Structure 1
Amino acid sequence: MKYTALIWIVLSIILSLYIGPAHAFDTSQLQFRDGVSGKLMRGEELAYSGYSIKVVGFPSPVISEKYQDIPDEPVEPFVMLNISKNGSFINTTVLGPGESYIVPDGELKVTADQLPSPNAREWIFQSYHPWAVIKLDPRGTPDLDVLVETDYDSYISSPATEITATVTITNNGFADANNVDLNLDTELTLKRESLKYHYESLKKGESITETVTLSSPFITEKKSYDIRANLSGYDAKAIPYTVESLKTIIIVPEYQQMPSLKKSTNERIYLKDYAMVSLSLKNNANYDLKNVSIKDSIPKGFRLMGNNSLHWVVDVPANGEWDSRYLIKPLEANSDGVILPAATADFRIKGEYYIIQSDRPEIVVYGPRIELTKLADVTEANLGDTVTVTVTATNTGGTPTKVTVWDQNPDDGNLTVHEEFLEAGRDFKFSYPVKIDSEQPIILPRATAEYYELGTEGGKITTESQELEITIKPPPDITPPPEETPVVESPDNSTNPDAVNGETGTYDPAQDVQVPEEPGIAETPPNEEPVEINGLLNLLLGCNESNGIEGLYAPSAACNFFSQ
């Protein structure tokens, strides 16, 4: 295996020095889409979009193990490929499993998707038949698209007419687009938003929508106007991509006989008041208008009073006028002002279908706005701790108001009530302790505030804080130390000086000291009778009769002593 890997390294270095050209762009930014793949043997080719990939080499065959059909040593798999385009040779490259090569122009990625494993039988002499699954993936490119739409196809030339254009850009390709610019070109006058947009990138599959508001020009005859959108961007190779979209609308002059629609309301009100909205349709023609459909809507933050549907279908006589009124009630203060939506009227004149819009009046609502919060000084506590809970009421509106805040203390169940005259931009707060006596998380109910729409006048508005949850820390995990089990060691008899007749005892290193024994004196074993042993020794040594006393047996040690 080490020789095969060495050959592979040498081949890669040689090929990279003499054949491999440098890319003129950052290949890491390239994106590729799925192409084709095939399982190839030596000498076989795979073609795609003018490219031809030919297998020209694999690691050399190796001997097998003695008893198995596997290599004697693992082989480092690789495949050597010749790459051509339209019959012209490009490069020779060596790839290992999963490795890829990007051709110099970046338009194709060649990947050795699969090779036999290092221990496969394809590498040994008797069954040498290597293969490689080669995958060819073409470079992905952006596919930009832009679409311009308007809310209507025709408009009336009037100062109150607004033309809303919606522009949607999309990348339907297989790669991101970079440095994307959207430019709108039209003769119409811009009223809101912008005609130019820039994006660092538009990812593949991404879609962005922009809304532009244009004004209707003053004209004396029917005229067409174009709204042209130009979208441009670049891919990873800095190749530009451009696409356009065109929307044509028709604007007709506001003739004397064309009806006019007006909408008005109070410029300023307090939160406690109602606003009157008035609609008026004037028929300036010398003929009746039949089945005129008039529609209106209310903005966010207001409530319609009564059961008016805000949709009327009326007949207006020649040079006549229709009008209607309805009440709306503000639900929240807004000192910046709220723009009411335009009312519309659609009708037919001499078979032509028209839609006109009213103006869009603005209304300012003065009043308070109370925001209520409920927080604890900690979010996690131990059983038995005392936590401090704080309730804060803030007036983010523009006028003062009398505020009543109540909250329930879970310790005693009593309701805590606080009142305050709170000016605009000011706040007040109160706190109370809570004893943690539960092992489960504690959820404190919402605090509630009630305040007047203006000072101490008008209706009352109710608001609530969020619920407050306090989690309980788990008790510490105290694990008792494990009991020690005494271990009795049994030393080897061959090294234990206390081993006697195969029995073992406790080893004492001090017993390793050898004490010389006195010659001629032997210890008597404790499990034998001394008289029988001494008699036997005396008989063998022939010293039974030397002492002249019959029947008297002397110790063998004494026998030895007298026999010296």
Structure 2
Amino acid sequence: MSKKIALIALLAVFVFFGLSTAAVAADDLEWEEKMDASKLYWGDSVTVDGYVIKAEDFNEDKMVFISISKDGEKLKTAPLSVGLEVIYNDEIKVYAQQIDPNYEIITKHGKEFKTGNWNPYAELDILIKGKPNFDIDVETEKDTYDSKSTGDSRIDVSIKVKNDGKAKAKNVVLTVGTAGMEILKGKEKYTFAEVLKDETLEPMNLTLKAPTPWVDTDLNITAKTTCLDVRDKKYENVGSKIIKIEPKWGLVISKSVTKNNHMGKPIHVSVSVRNDGLCDINNIVLKDSIASEMHSQKAVSLDKTLSLKSGESAEEVFEYTLIPEKPGEFTFPKTIATFTLPNGQNEEVGSNNSENVKIYGPEVSITKTVDREQLDSGDKLTVTVTAKNTGNVDASVTVTDTIPPEAKLISGETSLNYVLGSDGDSKTTTYMMQMNKEGEIKLPACKGSFLDLDGYSGEVSSNTPVVYVGIPISLQGSSKQPEGVTESNQVKNESSVQAQNEEDSEDTPGFGPVLAMAGLLTVTCILRKRKV
């Protein structure tokens, strides 16, 4: 009998210690609440992190029978009363916050009775085992490093780590991936016995030696943590930062162009080259080209081959002067260099000019038209002369037409003097003449001259219409030009500014520069007063 009592006592001790151990193990876990007071009626279910929790049954003693399933497999069933919980595999916990049989109550003869109609429900808290998780931030001072720069030869890296998970981590190891760069300061691996939930570690700093590649290179600096939770399950997290390393060679072509130029004034262009890389560059073929609507003041070669040592410059490799042929906004072509690097790599580099150059000035054209081409001797012919300024500066314009010897003026004006505004302003004069001689008659070109407030002047001529007096229009051998064709902006000094200044001192037939300038100023003032 005594032996039997002793055996029962020993068994009780084992059961007690077993339950105590299980309770201690469960207490080590940190839980993350996923649902608070989730209401489940009889037969209802809810899914949390892949687990299905179902209220299978209720009894009148305020007890709910729940099941835990996953992937269609029922893993555990258990009864729960208010204040009790059930845990499956240390992964999920269900706690009964409230259980209500939810009877239908009726009153009869002043007394309350429960009917057979009841719709019980349970309010359950559902928790998932907390897991450690590390937020890793890899920082560098810059995103791009120039291997040609002495200040960019070292890369300072700061790694910040925080456990933003729902449980502490133990045996934490942080390993830095340097993308092959040498560590000058700091270390590649850091260890920590444990890191609590919401704990932030002191930043880990290290310095890396920047490489000197031949091409633009992206490098990925990584920081990876490995750790265990309280059940020795392993977790990994990675943070990274991609930086760009610019190549160790560099050729800079600087092309400078005079800005805000005016017609009649030269544009100075200068091209210089600098080797700002770490290696010498030989046989650099440098080529330039002239912008459209311009010409060089004198013959110039824009093709040259040179070599530059590291850090060496070549100033004014090209230097020339351009004369603009018309006003407007122009893009200057880039100067191009082609060469082979010491490693055999072929490269092409363009100059740094990117801004457009604006040329100011008038652009005057004259158009001469007739009302008909076929007429008889003695008939009258109406001639229309139009002067138009499509430039970007106002100009005083004088136009003088000539009556051919085969005709005589009947009415109207054969000349005009007017200030034409920029951007398409025009002025028209019309006159009538009588044709007194038969034949194919080519009307003389109408002559014009202009002057702006900056002293830029020029001469233009119209087209030369053809009329047929007393004879049919010939379809062959005609010297007729299409109407509207015009010779425009024939500047008097296309070769040099000095030559223009000399010609400005002379009177142009029908258009004295001094009088024209005075007229331009006077008309401009009148127009401004009218606007006011």
Flag the structure with higher strand content: 2
TM-score of the superposed pair, with normalisation by structure 2:
0.39
Tell me the TM-score normalized by structure 1: 0.37
Q: Which has the larger radius of gyration?
A: 1
